[in-house]
Chains A and B, each alone.
Chain A
Amino acid sequence: MPGADKETDLSERIESFLSELKRCGSGAGSLRGSAETARETTALLRRITAQARWGNAGELMEIIRKEGRRMTAAQPSETTVGNMIRRVLKIIREEYARSRGSSEETDQQESLHKLLTSGGSSEDNFRQHFTHLKANVIEAINELLTELEGTTDNISMQALEHIHSNEVIMTIGRSRTVEAFLKDAARKRKFHVIVAECAPFCQGHEMATSLCKEDIETTVIPDAAIFAVMSRVNKVIIGTQTVLANGGLRAVNGTHTLALAAKHHSTPLIVCAPMFKLSPQLVILLYKNYFFVLILSKVNAHCPVFDYVPPELITLFISNIGGNAPSYIYRLMSELYHPEDHEL
């Protein structure tokens, strides 16, 4: 039966995606960047929308939420998966509201204004059936995919405004976004980059090699030298794994040190992060991400993978929609996600 085939095909794909996610954490699977994860998640959600059986928006949202919970449980440290699911849920809500004809501006956000002007409880069940809903949702997801593909370019386009000639820029580890950012600026400006190597995996070395290929003058320094060198640095530009709801960061270990050193020297700290890294969570359990390194047989070294950087240390966020202050992140969050989806 063709229906059953589609379903088994769909569930196979979901299972393979889940197992890929699980393998990523242990380091055995293909090391993928967050952009690829975001793209694959969105493509999978589009497939679910197209192939799964659902009668109305409410059922579709339930299916996506259920699959979403499994995906986030498979790899809790990969927050882009959860973010994409929330984006798609918001898309479904918007398309549903549009089909119903009601105005789609802030009519579903909890606000003091809404508390005062609404009459009666506004429980929207999403149970109405619309024939064009599927097509509309798939089209909107396609737009989302196009947006995802253009994020790195959008960020790099802003490079020339922030990097000037003869500047010394510091960065840490390896971020593909920052790499593209610096390479774009290097086409027209001459500047110097200092890369902190970010032990123990020393991804900074790869970053330095890649930057050298574009004729950018690069220096690699050990993490312990960050503070010592900071007085010579004009700007610090970093990438991050996640941007939290309060404007803080969850970034590769060593970033908090870098941020504190920058604050001490009043050096601006710029974070290049595409919008799909924005997560509505505030409290992320950091203590679960560790690599255990056995140096001697009787010594265990705990090596946390991520750092939390509080929002007071950050000067500017550069994302594909422009530059923003950390105190503005809550606003961007309310535009991207619906408050009921914060908890999947």
Chain B
Amino acid sequence: MEKDTTQKLVEYFRAQIREDPDVASAVAAIRSLLEFLKRDQSETILGLRENQTKAIQRLEETDSSVAVSSGGELFLRFISLTSLEHPDLSQCKNVMIERGELFLKKISLSRGKVGKLCHTFIKDGAKILTHSSSRVVLKVLENAAADNKRFTVYVTESQPDSAGKLMAQKLHNLNIPVTVVLDAAVGYIMEKVDLVIVGAEGVVESGGVINKIGTYQMAVCSKAHNKPFYVVAESFKFVRLYPLNQQDVPDRFKYKADILKTVKDLNQEHPMIDYTPPSLITLLFTDLGVLTPSAVSDELIKLYL
């Protein structure tokens, strides 16, 4: 019975992503969790919470990205951080569902806010370097192009899944001049570019980011060439991790979900993400405003304390 409901949850999640490929995976996860909450048959609030926690774990097993994990945790906090003193369970549940809808509405607007904030930093004639495929970066570049700014974009191929080529195609559709470069060519191209903009899968407590493998390399290169390195991320990606180096990032984020389940020796596998420390990041553009890396930990403390 339980397996059945969680199976339905996973299917709903996958359907969300299929229907709207532009949606952030965390937003799809939160929508699924909200659906799950509505259909939940528990008799107690504790039961509801436990089911939600299990549902989040199940979703993490399906899609091992950091954003799903952080989005899920924030969702749980949001719906339960309210007075649930009603004697009637269905009333409490309605309150939670209402807050869930509200949270969903707020975070659906995040990407637009980030796009609006960041595009003023792109000057006319700029050459931008970006990594892999990020929907937030796409939105930023879309806004800048709509503002009649002329700029060119270099995208890294981003192996092993060649996501960069997808990004190049999308940019091409927006009539933005784009060139795909090899991952190994980041050092070569860095002297030509004016700024680097990347997305993030997760923003950690130190102000660093977790993103597709190759981001750290790009950040080190841009520091060496004194080019500004900007990160764009929505606020639901803030996660309570404090990695000090690459090893500290938990394995469940580094590798895809199916690989974690099937492979015995992870040392033979290629990690999909890496950690970029805050010292290499110039500014973070979030829907909470433009933040310096040191301001990120402030935001997280305000939230979790």
Contacts and interface: CB of A to CB of B under 8 A. Distances in A.
Interface of A: 106, 110-113, 115-117, 119-120, 245-247, 282-283, 327-331, 339
B238 A112 contact: yes
Contact of A119 (B77, B102, B235, B299): B102
A243 B286 CA distance: 22
Contacts of A119: 82, 99, 102
Contact of B288 (A112, A116, A247): A112
Question: What is the interface residue range for chain B against chain A?
Answer: 20 to 34
Residue among B82, B99, B282, B289 with the highest chain A CB neighbour number at 10 A: B289
A330 B292 contact: yes
B121 to A, nearest CB: 6
A116 B295 CA distance: 18
Given A116-B77, A117-B81, A331 B235 contact: no
Contacts of B106: 115
Among all A-B residue pairs, the 3 with the closest Cβ atoms: A327-B294, A112-B303, A113-B302
Nearest to A339: B289
Contacts of A120: 102
B120 interface: yes
A111 B303 contact: yes
A331 B295 contact: yes
Contacts of B302: 106, 111-113
Interface in B67-83: 74, 77-78, 81-82
Contact of A116 (B290, B291, B298, B303): B303
Nearest to B106: A115
A309 B292 CA distance: 16
Nearest to A110: B288
A224 B208 CA distance: 39
A113 to B, nearest CB: 4
B290 A282 contact: yes
A284 B196 CA distance: 20
Contact of B295 (A106, A282, A330): A330
Interface in B49-75: 74
B82 A113 contact: no
A116 B99 CA distance: 9
Contacts of A330: 291-292, 294-295, 298
